Amino acid sequence: MLFSTLLLPLFLSLLSVADAHSHRLNKRLPSPSWHHARDHPVHALFRRDPGDDGQDYPDVGTPEWSSKYPNGPPDVTKMPAGWSNALKAAVSAGKIPNIPVSSSPGNVNPTYPAGHDPNGPEICSSTYKCRGQGEIWDGPDGTFGLGFDDGPLPPSGRLYDFLREHNETPTDFMIGLYILQNSQMFLQAVDDEHDIAVHTWTHPYMTTQTNEQVVAQLGWTMQIIHDSTGGRIPKYWRPPYGDSDNRVRAIAKEIFGLECIIWNQDTEDWSLTTNGTTPQAINASMTHWLTGPKSPGLIILEHELSDQSVQAFIDAYPVIVQNGWKIESVAQLANATNPSAYRNAPGTGDGPVTAGDILAPTPQTTTSATSSSSAT
Ligand SMILES: [Zn+2]
């Protein structure tokens, strides 16, 4: 997807956010059954509660909430010291491969300097279909991994309503800046118990980013999700354009505990608005995949980016059902022994948290969302 396609929804989000329904965050972390994974650096970076970290988290959508986060590509000199220290420690420990940053002039597939094979063991770029260690590309047999990229945006509302009507829960791979700008839509996803995963702060090709930029892109998105969901720490991320490599995936895993979900089929629905594809072409692809073999299970790249891309899913939904696929949030499918979208989930840590370590539910207002959306 070209970056320019990202800007239109940004603009549209400003126009329509005032019409968004008001939601309040009322899904507390169940206590005391949620756990931090204490053996991972992410435990120290995101402590969930005021008692733990001394912070009092502002209500989602308020100006005080908005002011905590970057309004655009993050300035690496302004990220929390804990993140840069964790990066330095990981680099010193030899956990982050010292491979070149790629370049992508004109936002095309990133390339590496001569002598560095993107498909070789040194780089292993997912843009070039090299599957990195631990990366998830396929679902379990017979399953349809439900997931959508690039929200929350105004078109998300229709998708979320449709999913609620059909009792389906997706994984939303969310862009941090869009959460900042569409806080009420974000809260609808949380209210509907969608699984929230990380899709970076401003959607760059991640292999073009320096180590520090990778940390900031992931860290701020982790932070806003954590602060705005009562302390949930996302466990999964998806790189924009599916672009990751050994360096980027090591930073995601070592600093933030993030595991990567790619996809095994691509509708190219992001290009519906630019005539890159058509509803008929998507329908033909979907029918082909959905009536085909059930091994491996399907993880299809789909977007909540436009009314057209949302419609493409709505059109395909009956075909998914009719062909007997087991539909489940892709984050729930990714690890059968611990099906949770969050790092601090039952069974992933070493002890219960204490009562009072969660954010109390607080009423939200649409006026505050309008304030936050002025931050472009
Ligand atoms: Zn994306």
Mean pLDDT computed over 53-80:
88
pLDDT value, residue 345: 62
pLDDT over 90 (residue 6) = no
Pairwise CA distance, residues 324 & 329, whole Å: 16
Q: Are 265 and 224 spatial neighbours (Cβ–Cβ below 8 Å)?
A: no
pLDDT over 50 (residue 19) = no
pLDDT over 90 (residue 7) = no
> How far does the centroid of ligand 1 lie from the alpha carbon of residue 45, in Å?
25
> How far does the centroid of ligand 1 lie from the alpha carbon of residue 333, in Å?
20
pLDDT value, residue 148: 98
The token pair that represents 114 in the structure block: 């001569």
Residue scoring higher pLDDT (376 or 295): 295
Cβ neighbours for 137, distance < 8 A, ≥ 6 positions apart: 131, 262, 263, 264, 299
- Average predicted confidence (pLDDT) for the chain: 83
- % of the chain residues with pLDDT over 90: 68
Mean pLDDT computed over 320-328:
97
In whole angstroms, how large is the CA radius of gyration of the chain?
20
User: Ligand 1 is a single-atom ion; what residues have CB below 5 A from it?
Assistant: 149-150, 240
Find, among 252, 205, 183, 227, the residue nearest to 105 by Cα: 205
Pairwise CA distance, residues 134 & 246, whole Å: 11
pLDDT value, residue 247: 98
Q: Which residues partner with 197 through β-bridges?
A: 173
Lowest mean pLDDT among 19-23, 110-114, 115-119: 19-23
pLDDT value, residue 45: 77
pLDDT value, residue 334: 82
Handedness of CA 63, 66, 70, 72 (dihedral sign): negative
> How far does the centroid of ligand 1 lie from the alpha carbon of residue 89, in Å?
30
CB atoms inside a 10 Å sphere around CB 67? 12
Element (H, E) at 140: none
Domains of the chain: 1-20+137-359 (3.20.20.370)
pLDDT over 60 (residue 106) = yes
> How far does the centroid of ligand 1 lie from the alpha carbon of residue 192, in Å?
22
pLDDT value, residue 129: 96
Find, among 275, 273, 283, the residue nearest to 308 by Cα: 273
> How far does the centroid of ligand 1 lie from the alpha carbon of residue 301, in Å?
9
> How far does the centroid of ligand 1 lie from the alpha carbon of residue 346, in Å?
29
Question: Which one from 35, 194, 199, 303 is the annotated catalytic residue?
Answer: 303
> How far does the centroid of ligand 1 lie from the alpha carbon of residue 55, in Å?
31
> How far does the centroid of ligand 1 lie from the alpha carbon of residue 41, in Å?
27
Is residue 194 flagged as an active site residue? no
Is residue 307 flagged as an active site residue? no
